[in-house]
Structure 1
Amino acid sequence: MRTRPPAILSALALVLVLAGCTAPEAAPPAPTETSAGELRTVSSIAVVGDSMSVGMSACGTRDACPAASWALGTDSAVSSIRERLVSAEGGAEIEPLSLARPGAVVADRVTAVEKAKGKAADLVLVAVGTNNVCTSSMDKITPVDEFGQTYRELLETIRAGVPDAPIVATSLPDIRQLWEAGRSDSTIVRLWNESPSCRTLLGDADSDAAADEARRDSVMETWAGYNAAIIEACAGVSACTTDDGAISRISFSLDDISTADHFHPSASGQAKVAEAAWPAVRKALGG
């Protein structure tokens, strides 16, 4: 029989409404073993993140679809971290706390965590940083050193708020795959060229000019630096576990990218993120 860990801070007070969203783009993920090894009991789970963690465009529209979130979602086709833990707990309810916002960068998530003081979680997932490099212009990219310092501050702020909760800091998905998957589709390229999103990578999406290739290479060099900084920051904070780059190694196909905006993960893409993150969650919880 599992015993619950000591209560941390106050009871969770903010619960997402996760209902009414279907995921026509998704194919059910392969069954995942959840029972091997005893996991620390989790009754509440928080995610600190950006648009990916609210399921943006995952359900066939340009809206957020929390039910399809890799972290807190309830859609069985995604098999989110929350749902996997519900299964591991034998169906016990796990309350969600979302500190994720579309367009979020690392610095504003520090503020969001500070404002959430008084709320508790037994597990905190951190998935933020893509918007620091995938931005409107090259001069707005956060330098790697600054990113690392701010990310460490974010983890330390979380640790101060929930001293006993395991933290799982995930790597950032390979955003160049997004461009590579869609660049041969003229409709997708046109939409990218008309969109204000991620100009650093998707600007002049159909160009193979040397300057554009150099720009994309620079973006990916920064992306790699961020992922290294996440590992380093996590190593300096107690009870913090990384996914060892698992999410950064996901291979996304066009089916894994939303048909609504050709930018965010579809429900099947969200399922891949959950599958990649799950081993780190199990490790963090002692499984």
Structure 2
Amino acid sequence: MGQRSTRSGTRRARTGVAAALATAALAAGALAACDSSSEPHGRRPPGASARPSPSPSPTPVWDRSPDSLAAVGDSITRGFDACMVLSDCPEVSWATGTDTVVNSLAMRLLGAPGVKERSWNLARSGADAADLPEQMARAAAHDPELVTVMIGANDACADTVSRMTPVGEFRASLEAAMARLRRDAPKAQVYVASVPDLKRLWSEGRGDALGSRIWELGICATMLGDAQDVSVRAQERRDTVQQRVVAYNDVLKDVCAKDDRCRYDGGAVFDYRFSGAQLSRWDWFHPSRDGQQRLAEIAHRNITAAQAP
């Protein structure tokens, strides 16, 4: 800054100028910092884009711990032939049973007192997809937090292949059932189990002399009739039934996927490699207590999982 002067006036003048310059510099820096930081007054330089504000975390639609449960479907959910011959045994139902060995889905989710107070088994032995809308209406009347669906085996297990439920009709029944539930209980969650692998059922039971004789009484004739016949024609018949079951499962998956509050099991029941221990000793078709327990395990795992299967 040149030579220093000894005169006090000059020092004061220079000190004043320096202070003024420092103040100006600080002010300019502060303005620049304001322009380049968070723009508290909402102003930004021309051409600059606004910073996106963080979006709130979405509330998950699926509740992994529902507090009430209604079950719809067919004889599997009624526990048919699991305790005694030709009889429903709802106490061992995979969905709503009270049997401690089976440890049903309702027992796992609600506890023993809750099963009696807040679960309802509305399935019916012999039911097929056409019965589902009416069952769903009855379920909705209880305003449950969760509805379980297991349907389709009877649609495939007809007297003849030509009498199996057409895929289009199966879809229409399922869509009507979901629409009825959404009208009367819009917030209810739905768990949809896949149709079991009927061809595996045939392959597991055909080697048992008693089981194959029981099948001749007319149990699931499309798949299990003439169990020892392995001719081309018989194999084609069984393949046709298997393809229909796969098509039903595709429908279950597709219809469920269109509803934010629905979970399909991802084919878990169809894929389960069950053995004779999981089949009723009276008909080698319906699940035994052991089989009901496995269905409960599959359902509970999928319903309480963080992500859908």
What TM-score bracket applies, with the shorter chain setting the length? 0.7 to 0.9
1:54 aligns with 2:78: yes
1:215 aligns with 2:205: no
- What residue is the counterpart of 1:148 in the other structure? 171
Given that residues 250 and 272 in structure 1 are in contact (C-alpha distance below 8 angstroms), is that contact kept between their aligned partners in structure 2?
A: no
1:105 aligns with 2:128: yes
Q: CA offsets, 1:185-236, max 9 Å, x none? A: 222111111x122111111111011111000000000100111110100011
- What residue is the counterpart of 1:180 in the other structure? 203
1:91 is displaced (CA, Å) by 7.0
Given that residues 189 and 261 in structure 2 are in contact (C-alpha distance below 8 angstroms), is that contact kept between their aligned partners in structure 1?
A: yes
Q: Percent identity?
A: 35
1:43 aligns with 2:67: yes
1:246 aligns with 2:268: yes
Q: Work out the CA distance in 2 between the residues paired with 1:63 and 1:90.
A: 25
Q: Work out the CA distance in 2 between the residues paired with 1:230 and 1:255.
A: 27
Q: Work out the CA distance in 1 between the residues paired with 2:76 and 2:281.
A: 15
- What residue is the counterpart of 1:202 in the other structure? 224
Q: CA offsets, 1:30-59, max 9 Å, x none? A: xxxxxxxx9655332101110000100112
Given that residues 51 and 104 in structure 1 are in contact (C-alpha distance below 8 angstroms), is that contact kept between their aligned partners in structure 2?
A: yes
Q: Which amino acid aligns with 2:289?
A: A
- What residue is the counterpart of 1:233 in the other structure? 255
Given that residues 169 and 240 in structure 1 are in contact (C-alpha distance below 8 angstroms), is that contact kept between their aligned partners in structure 2?
A: yes
Give the direction of change, closer, same or farther, for the CA distance of 1:116–1:167 in structure 2 (3 Å limit). Answer: closer
Output the TM-score relative to the length of structure 2.
Answer: 0.74
Q: Which amino acid aligns with 2:175?
A: R
Given that residues 134 and 198 in structure 1 are in contact (C-alpha distance below 8 angstroms), is that contact kept between their aligned partners in structure 2?
A: yes
Q: Work out the CA distance in 1 between the residues paired with 2:307 and 2:297.
A: 16
Q: Which amino acid aligns with 2:215?
A: W
- What residue is the counterpart of 1:81 in the other structure? 105
Q: Work out the CA distance in 1 between the residues paired with 2:114 and 2:138.
A: 31
Structure 1: unaligned runs, 5 residues or longer: 1-37
1:269 is displaced (CA, Å) by 0.5
Q: Which has the higher helix share?
A: 2
Give the direction of change, closer, same or farther, for the CA distance of 1:270–1:115 in structure 2 (3 Å limit). Answer: closer
Given that residues 204 and 275 in structure 2 are in contact (C-alpha distance below 8 angstroms), is that contact kept between their aligned partners in structure 1?
A: yes
1:273 aligns with 2:287: no
Q: Work out the CA distance in 2 between the residues paired with 1:275 and 1:97.
A: 19
Q: CA RMSD in A?
A: 2.3
- What residue is the counterpart of 1:21 in the other structure? none
Q: CA offsets, 1:107-159, max 9 Å, x none? A: 11212333556332111101111111111111111122321222122122222
Give the direction of change, closer, same or farther, for the CA distance of 1:39–1:187 in structure 2 (3 Å limit). Answer: same
Higher relative contact order (CA 8 A, sep 6+): 1
- What residue is the counterpart of 2:162 in the other structure? 139
Q: Which amino acid aligns with 1:260?
A: W
Q: Work out the CA distance in 1 between the residues paired with 2:66 and 2:144.
A: 8
Q: Work out the CA distance in 1 between the residues paired with 2:222 and 2:116.
A: 41
